[in-house]
Chains A and B, each alone.
Chain A
Amino acid sequence: MFYCRHASAHAASTSCHTDMPCGFGARPCLGALAPLSTSLVILVLTTALLLLFQVPAMAHRVNIFAWTEGPQVIVKCGFSGGNSVKNGDITVYDAATEKVLLQGRTNAEGLFRFDIPPAGKEHGLRIRINAGEGHQNEWQMDAAELAQAPATTTASAAAGVTGEATGGPTPALPQNAGDVHSPKTENAKSSQPALLLKNSGAPATDPQISGSGPASAEEVRSIVDAALNAQTEKFNALLDARLSPLRRQLAEMRTEGPGVREIVGGMGWFVGLAGLALYFRSRRR
C-alpha cells in the first residue's frame, strides 16, 4: 500500500518542482493550488484503486438479515464487507409490546437460530444485533410472515441440520418420505432428519384408522384432510429447502460493502460542494 502511494507521490513531486515555483505572495490565486490538488487527487484515486484489489472487511456497519426455515427463525449477522459477527448479542423483542422474548449469541458463522415464539406469530418480532463498539442494527419480521411457518415440532431439535444441509445437493425428499401413516419407522430410516421429521409432524394429529367396515363420510374426510395436511407439510419443506439458498444469497448481498458506484458518486459530491462554495465566495468578493 505504501509503496504504491509513495511511488505516485514521487512522480507528482518531480513534476511539481519543475513547473511551479514554491513560494508566492500574500494573496495567492487559486490556480497555484493546482499541483497540490493534483497530487491529492492522485492520492485519493490510488486509495480508491487499492480498494478494488483489497479483500475488504470493515467495521462501519453491522448488517442483520433474518428468515424463517421450518419452525425456526435464522438470523444472519455480518459487518459490511463480509466478515460475519462472531459472538454478537442478539435480542428478540415482541414487535408490539417491546417485551424481550429471548436472547442469545451468534455462532462463528454469524448465525443464530431460535424457535418462533408464540407471541411472535401474533405481533411479529424485532431482532436486534449488538456487535459492540457502537455497532447495532435491527430486523423486523411481520406477524404474517411468521404465522405461515409450521408449528414447532419435535423436529426442532434436529432442525439445526437444515442450515448445513442446504450447502449440499438438494435433498430428494417427497418419494421416500411419503409414508404418512407410519411416522415412527420413518424416523428410524430418515437420512435427511430435518426435512423428514418435519413431515412427521402432521400425522401425529392423524386420527386412528380402525380399518374395520366401510368408512363413514366423517372418516373419509379426516383421512383426506390428513393426507392434504401431510402434502402441504411436504410441500412447505420442499419450498424451504429450495428457497433457503436464495435467502442465504440475499443475506450475503445485504452484507456487501458499498460498491464503486457509491464511492465514485460520493467523491463527485465533494467536488460539487466545493464548487458551490467557491462560486458563492467568489461572488461575495
Chain B
Amino acid sequence: MHIAEGVLSPPILAAGYALTAIGTAIGLRKLDYDQLMTVAILAATFFVGSLIHVPIGPSSAHLILNGLLGVLLGWAVFPAILSALALQALLFQYGGIVVLGVNTFTMGFSGLVAWYVFRLLVRLWPGMKGLRAAAFCGGAIGVLGAGLLTALALAFSDEGFLTAARLIFLAHLPVMLVEGLITMFTVGFIARVRPEMLHPSCPQCPQHSA
C-alpha cells in the first residue's frame, strides 16, 4: 500500500500533504495525555505489522492494521500512522518522504472511516456480539478504504483507476479478512480487560471523560 517516489504528480503529492496536515492537526488536538502511550504502542504495532505478509492467494500483500488503529485511536490515527510511515520511509526505504503525505492520508483516512463505522455499528447493535462484529467491519473497512484511496491516487498516474483498483482489491481480499479477525480479537480482548479504552464508542464500558 506504500506508493513509491516518482509515481505521482506534484499536485497529488501536495494535496496528500495538505490533507495529512489537517488530519494530523485535528488528531493531535484530540489526543489526550493518557492516550499518548497507547498511540505510541499502536504506531509501533503498525510499523511492525506491515512487515507481516499474508500468504494467501497469488499476490504478496502485507498487513496494514490501519483499521485496528482507527478503531482504537479515532482521530489520533493520523499522527500514529504519520510517525510510523515516516520511520518506515527512513529506516526501510518503504514509500518515501515525498509521498509520505499521500500514503499517510490513504491509510489514515480509511482508519478514520473505520472508526466512524465501528461507532455506528456499536450503537446499532449493543452488546459483546455487536462489538465484535463492529470491530471486524472496522478492520476490514480500513484495508478496503486504503486500497480504494491508493487506487484513486494512482488513477491520475499512467495506471488507470479501474486496473489499479481491481488489482489492489483482489490482492487485499485475504488481508481484509485477516485484519477483520485481528481487530475483532483485539477489541474483544480490550473490552474485557480495559473497556474504558474504547471510550466513547463502547456503551457498556464506564463513561470515561475524553
- Write the residues of chain A forming the contact surface with B, with a CB cutoff of 8 angstroms: 1-2, 5-6, 9, 12-13, 16-17, 22-24, 26-28, 30, 33, 35-37, 39-41, 43-44, 47-48, 50-51, 54, 56-62, 79-81, 83, 130, 132-138, 257-258, 262-263, 265-267, 269-271, 273-274, 277-278, 281-282, 285
Contact indicator B6/A266 (Cβ below 8 Å): no
Interface residues of B in 149-200 (CB under 8 A from A): 150, 153-154, 157, 159, 164, 167-168, 171, 181-182, 185-186, 189-190, 192-197
Residues of B close to A273: CB separation below 8 A: 40, 83
DSSP majority for the A interface? helix
Q: A33 with B38: in contact, given A60-B2, A136-B7 (CB under 8 Å)?
A: yes
29 contacts between A and B (CB under 8 A): A1-B52, A2-B182, A9-B185, A17-B193, A36-B38, A36-B194, A36-B197, A37-B41, A40-B38, A43-B45, A47-B48, A56-B51, A56-B53, A58-B50, A58-B53, A58-B60, A59-B62, A60-B2, A60-B92, A61-B2, A61-B92, A61-B94, A132-B167, A133-B159, A133-B164, A266-B48, A266-B91, A274-B37, A277-B36
Knowing A2-B185, A274-B36 are in contact, say whether A44-B41 is a contact too (CB < 8 A): yes
Q: Which residue of A lies closest to B50 (CB)?
A: A60
Q: Do B40 and A39 touch (CB < 8 A)? A: no
Task: Give chain A residues whose Cβ lies under 8 Å from the Cβ of B167.
Answer: 132-133
Rounded to whole Å, the gap between the CB of B134 and the closest CB of chain A is 19
Residue from A2, A136, A270, A278 within 8 A of B4 (CB atoms): A136
CB of B93 within 8 Å of the partner chain = yes
Chain B contacts for A80, CB-based, 8 A: 92, 94
Given that A270-B43, A273-B40 are known contacts, is A263 also in contact with B2, CB under 8 Å in the complex? no
Q: What's the nearest-Cβ distance from chain B to residue A146, in Å?
A: 23
Q: Let me know if B196 and A22 touch, CB within 8 A.
A: yes
CB-based contact B195/A6 at 8 Å: no
**Residue of B with least CB distance to A269:** B87
Contacting pair B6 A136 (CB below 8 A): yes
Q: Are A133 and B168 closer than 8 Å at their CB atoms?
A: yes
Q: How far is the CA of A47 from the CA of B53 in the complex (A)?
A: 11
B39 contacts the other chain (CB 8 A): yes
Could you tell me the dominant secondary structure of chain B's interface residues? Answer: helix
**A233 → chain B closest CB, angstroms:** 39
Among B45, B159, B186, B195, point to the contact of A22 (Cβ < 8 A).
B195
Q: A58-B62, A60-B62, A274-B36 are contacts. A44–B48 as well, Cβ < 8 Å?
A: yes
Instruction: Give chain B's interface residue range (CB within 8 Å of chain A).
Output: 35 or more
Q: Which B residues touch A62, using CB under 8 A?
A: 4
- Report the Cα distance A51→B189, complex, angstroms: 23
Q: Tell which of A30, A39, A132, A282 touches B193, judged by Cβ atoms closer than 8 Å.
A: A39
Q: Given contacts A50-B52, A51-B48, A257-B51, are A262 and B91 in contact (CB under 8 A)? A: yes
A221, chain B: closest CB distance, angstroms: 52
Complex contact B52–A47 (CB within 8 A): yes
Question: What is the distance, in angstroms, from B192's C-beta to the closest C-beta of chain A?
Answer: 6
Closest A residue by C-beta to B185:
A6
The reply on B61 being an interface residue by CB < 8 A is yes
Q: Which residue of B lies closest to A62 (CB)?
A: B4
Note all chain A residues with C-beta closer than 8 A to B60.
57-59, 79, 81, 83
* Docked pose: A134 CA to B50 CA in angstroms: 16
Query: What is the CB-to-nearest-CB distance from B144 to chain A, in angstroms, rounded to a whole number?
Result: 15
